[in-house]
Structure 1
Amino acid sequence: MSNGRNTTARHGRIDALDLARGIAILGTFATNVWIFTDPAGALGWLALDVERGAVETLLLTLSNGKFLALLSILFGVGLELQYRSAVRRGLRWPGRYLWRATLLLLEGALHYLLIFEFDVLTGYALVSVHVAFLVSRSDRVRRTWLAVAAAVHVTFVGLLTAASLSGAFSGAADGTASTRDAEYTAIAAYSSASWLDQVRTRIELAGFFRLEILLIVPLSTVLFLAGIEVLRAGAFEDSERGSRVRRRLLILGLGAGVPLNLVTAFAGPDWFFVDRYIVPPIVAFGLLAAVVEFAARTRGGVLRRGLIATGRAAMSCYVLQNLVAGALCYGWGLGLATLLADARPWWVLAAWAFVSALLMTLAALWLRAFSRGPLELLLHRLYTGGPKKVGEPV
């Protein structure tokens, strides 16, 4: 092993980071695909009284929350790399990064409005602003913010779980989601309505769908700051120090997190918030360590290249996978969510595999001619007024 070098660095990039980001993007879709393939769409997915079979529960456990948490950690890693790049160039920080965050916020708002109810880019943009100010502060300041954000998040999830166990949400669901208007929204707006009707639904129910941001902001703060910590600790280094950090993350994430996740997954809908917002982020650290170790020990391969290409065009692939899934599943497209409702959960796996293969193929082809994905290039030109340089960190 080389001493302190980033694992499989190439052209100024960290292949392990791109690989992890690609896995996170496709893993996030492994959760979102269940939303798209539900005949009642997003509101069907949110129904607390839905009974899922053992196979579907197990499949959901493999993806639910973990890869989104991994993506959040990697966003923090990327923010640290941008800070380092600014320091090397003698640029003021956060400086123009705030304009970059504004562009991300606008992109997320459009993604929500036009494509997907559970967009995370909006929340990421909001969190990135205050974390951008923290990245240059002392270890003590950053870690204090991390601890406070973690305490707020755990408290919030604890209160929601206590309310769920007490039956508070069942009454609320009966009073809102079971009304005639909500039934139309949950079924007609996804199985038969036009794309414009869906846009109107997202506008009308924006307050409801965007409630998750209240959980995303403190959790993403924790994970962004944790991403900065693991990068500075050497988690991506091809060194003994890096191996030591990754072993600890594996023990935490896979040794402790996975068994806990299995318990919460089968504990019932009352434990939904713990199962999605507490345990999966723990598992995500183990996934990160496993991916970096895999990247350090392997070379080449079609699958690896496809995942790295997806990671390099992460934002474009995130938006495209949701657009393609909508076209496949909703009434304004092929309407497969309704036509194949009796084939769940198996056709859901096929849909995920098809879209994932499509994304990896398109990303690899696009990156033969360009240094970044189409959305990345567009936002970069709006951000700097110039083209993206090959190898410049995200």
Structure 2
Amino acid sequence: MNANKVAHGQPMSLRERVHFLDIVRGFALMGIILVNYFLIVDSAKGFDMESNDVFHNLVNWFASGKFITLFSFLFGVGFMIFMDRAAQKVDSPNKLFARRLTILLGFGLLHLTFVWIGDILAYYAVAGFLLLFFYKRTAKTIRNWLITLFVIQLFTPFFTMLLNTISSGSSGKPDFADFELISHNSLTYLASIGDRWADMVTMASSSFFTVYSMFFMFLLGVYFVKMEFFKNMEAKKAIWNRIWIICTIAFLITQGSTIITAVNPFENTLWVNMATALEQNGGLTGSMFYMSTLAMLFLHVPQLRGALMVFTKVGRMSLTCYLLHSIIGTLLFLKYGAGLVDHLQPAGTFFMAIGVYVFLVLFSTFWLKRFKYGPMEYIWRQLTYGKVKQISKAFTVHSSSIKK
């Protein structure tokens, strides 16, 4: 091994960060907080997510499933960036990424044990190992995999309808059974720890399609990097224009179906399953519409770049902010904390989520004016590379980054 590889096998520096990706990551986290806070409050009340009020409708139609999907896409992008740089510095980038995922899995297990059952980090870690088989594949191969996985996902509702009809003679109309998360009604914190694992067993039975959808978005992120869509974006405005047009049309189709079904539900079995198929892909189309719209604003409206940059601080500290939002949310809402779940109306939940996000923006801005990395990002880096820098070097006032 080249001696320099050990010394320089370090993650991407702040100067090399892609501002646009940080903007998208910070924007995605805002939506995740909004959806998760409604999920925490509504599940504690018995999953009344279908309440017909303006705030539930806004969250269900324009946020639910879309921002977490966008976050998954960015995970795939981050995988490629990490592996490309690691391949230049170390002999075994696969082992380095596997170690990184193992640490992330540990974070996820700690998070779901001691904070909230709605953890995504453990899912990301498990699905992330599959990416190692695709790093050296060509863009064409990745594209073929994406097409295959998408077709399977698109027709799953019809397969389900057929199986239900054959096995029971039913119409195949989806039957969504409500269930209650035990941990969201725990009276004490210690009781909630055991209850979270009981919830985890319940949720694990339906986790296959969650991992499936995440992995699809991981691969889509890999494909975008292999096609170099994020490299020199200014020179690729025409490509991004086409991406935005395609994503907008797809989003309007799935979103239109979702809204029409909510306002005037279908009775015909075929139409029900067609609507279900479109709705299940609403996360995909919505996430890509939001991402491509941000790209349009970033590329074509330079006057807005300053405003968009507000998302970058949270984006650079996404792991820290993700964990913080669930800690804050559970302490505010659940019964072993402030117990606000019994007093909040949908409007209160909505504005509470916005308020927490504003706090995270201010906190991230304050932190990154003084330190190079967020606290959890720093720990993750040091555990990944197995070389703990002196804190005085890693956590120093970073004046150069302030001027950027």
Q: Distance in 1 between matches of 2:228 and 2:141?
A: 20
TM-score by length of 1: 0.82
* CA pair 360-275 structure 1, distance change in 2 beyond 3 A: farther
* Structure 2 residue 19 is the aligned partner of structure 1 residue 15: yes
Q: Relative contact order: is structure 1 or structure 2 higher (C-alpha 8 Å, sep ≥ 6)?
A: 1
Instruction: Please point out which of 221, 228, 233 is paired with 1:227.
Output: 221
Greater mean deviation of Cα atoms: 252-261 or 327-336: 252-261
- In the TM superposition, what whole-angstrom CA distance separates every residue of 1:280-299 from its partner, at most 9, and x where no partner exists? 21121121122223333436
Q: Secondary structure at the match of 2:93?
A: coil
Q: Whole-Å Cα distance in 2 between the matches of residues 108 and 45 of structure 1?
A: 27
The alpha-carbon deviation at position 192 of structure 1 amounts to: 6.0
Count of paired positions: 364
Q: Per the alignment, do residues 386 and 299 of structure 1 end up closer, same or farther by CA in structure 2, a change over 3 Å counting?
A: farther
Is 1:104–1:122's contact at 8 Å kept on the other side of the alignment? Answer: yes
Q: CA deviation at 1:211?
A: 3.8
- Note if contact 1:309-1:360 (Cα within 8 Å) is conserved in structure 2: yes
Residue 274 (structure 1) shift: 4.6
Separation in 2, partners of 1:301, 1:122 = 34
**2: distance between equivalents of 1:102 and 1:215?**
22
Deviations 1:130-173 (A, max 9, x none): 11221112234323333333344334455557769735636x65
Q: CA shift at 1:92, angstroms?
A: 2.3
Structure showing greater Rg: 2
Deviations 1:42-72 (A, max 9, x none): x5257xxx54335522332111111111111
Give matches, 1:62-73, under 5 Å: 62-73=62-73
Query: CA offsets per residue over residues 189-226 of structure 1, 9 Å max, x none?
Result: 53561122222211122222234531122212211111
Matched, 1:256 2:235: no
Cα gap change, 1:122/1:191 in structure 2, threshold over 3 Å: closer, same or farther?
A: closer
Correspondence list, 1:100-139, <5 A? 100-139=100-139
Identity of aligned residues (%): 20
Cα distance between partner residues in 2 of 1:349 and 1:242: 37
Distance 2:98 2:152 in 1: 25
- Worse-matched range after superposition: 295-304 or 219-228: 295-304
Q: Distance in 2 between matches of 1:105 and 1:62?
A: 29
CA distance in 1, matches of 2:256, 2:58: 8
Deviates more, 1:199-208 or 1:75-84: 199-208
Which of 285, 296, 299 is matched with 2:288 structurally? 285
CA distance 1:216–1:191, shift in 2 (3 Å): closer
Q: In the alignment, residue 125 of structure 1 is paired with which amino acid? A: A
Cα distance in 1 for partners of 2:157, 2:375 equals: 37
Q: For residues 332-347 of structure 1, what are the structure 2 equivalents within 5 Å?
A: 332-340=336-344, 343-344=345-346, 346-347=347-348
1:349 paired residue number: 350
How far off is 1:227 after superposition? 0.9
Ranges in structure 1 where 5+ consecutive residues have no aligned partner: 1-8
What CA distance in whole angstroms lies between the structure 2 residues aligned with 1:363 and 1:161? 47
Partner of 2:382: 381
Question: Match for residue 318 of structure 1?
Answer: 322
- In 1: Cα distance, 2:38 partner to 2:103 partner: 29
- Aligned-pair Cα RMSD in Å: 3.1
> 1:150·1:219 contact (CA, 8 Å) conserved in 2?
no
Amino acid at match of 1:355: V
Counterpart for residue 360 of structure 2: 359
Q: SS at 1:38's partner residue?
A: helix
Instruction: Quote how far apart the aligned CAs of 1:276 are.
Output: 5.9
Summarize the alignment of residues 1-394 of structure 1 with structure 2, pairs less than 5 Å apart. Answer: 11-38=15-42, 40=44, 44=47, 50-53=50-53, 55-159=55-159, 166=172, 169=175, 177=179, 189-191=183-185, 193-239=187-233, 242-268=236-262, 274=277, 277-296=280-299, 297-298=301-302, 304-340=308-344, 343-344=345-346, 346-384=347-385, 385-387=387-389
Q: Is the 8 A contact 2:34 2:354 kept in 1?
A: no
TM-score w.r.t. structure 2 length? Answer: 0.80
2:372 match: secondary structure = coil
Alpha-carbon distance change, 232 to 361 in structure 1, aligned in 2, over 3 angstroms: same
Partners in 1 of 2:35 and 2:298 — Cα distance?
A: 24
Residue type at the aligned position of 2:120: V
> Relative to structure 1, is the Cα distance of residues 137 and 190 closer, same or farther in structure 2, using a 3 angstrom cutoff?
closer
Amino acid at match of 1:142: I
CA–CA separation in structure 2 for the residues paired with 1:364 and 1:319? 17
CA contact (8 A) 1:234 1:242 kept: no
Q: Which segment drifts farther, 106-115 or 82-91?
A: 82-91
Deviation at 1:33, TM superposition (A): 1.5
C-alpha change, 1:71 and 1:291, in structure 2 (3 Å) is same
After the TM superposition, which of the residue ranges 292-301 and 378-387 deviates more from structure 2? 292-301
Cα distance in 2 for partners of 1:275, 1:108 equals: 31
Contact in 1 for aligned 2:127/2:211 (Cα 8 Å): yes
Q: Structure 2 stretches of 5 or more lacking a match?
A: 1-12, 165-169, 266-271
Contact residue 15 and residue 295 of structure 1 kept, 8 A: no
The secondary structure found in structure 1 opposite 2:246 is helix
Q: Is the 8 A contact 1:70 1:284 kept in 2?
A: yes
Contact 2:55 2:350 in 1 (8 A): no
